[in-house]
């Protein structure tokens, strides 16, 4: 025999845990995307610097997105 109060608590607790996991996963993906974009930008800047070229302004803006 299940207690209604305990059953409701278990469901709410599980829903809150799932919601927290989804939020954390979304944030982790966003941080990973941002980190990859920054790494690509820095690599592009370093490659241009090694060749003695300054990147065009529109390239910098495109890489920063």
Radius of gyration of the chain from its Cα atoms, rounded to whole angstroms? 23
How far is Cα 15 from Cα 36, in angstroms, rounded to an integer? 32
For residue 3, pLDDT beyond 90: no
Q: pLDDT at position 47, please?
A: 86
| pTM of the full structure | 0.58
Average confidence (pLDDT) over 56-61: 59
43's tokens = 């690599």
Kindly list the distances between the CA atom of residue 10 and the CA atoms of 20, 22, 60, in Å, as whole numbers in the listed order. 15, 18, 51
């Amino acid at each position: 025999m299940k207690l209604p109060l305990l059953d409701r608590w278990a469901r709410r607790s599980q829903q809150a845990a799932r919601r927290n996991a989804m939020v954390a996963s979304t944030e982790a993906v966003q941080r990973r995307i941002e980190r990859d974009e920054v790494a690509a930008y820095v690599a592009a800047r370093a490659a241009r610097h090694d060749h003695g070229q300054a990147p065009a302004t529109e390239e910098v803006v495109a890489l920063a997105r």
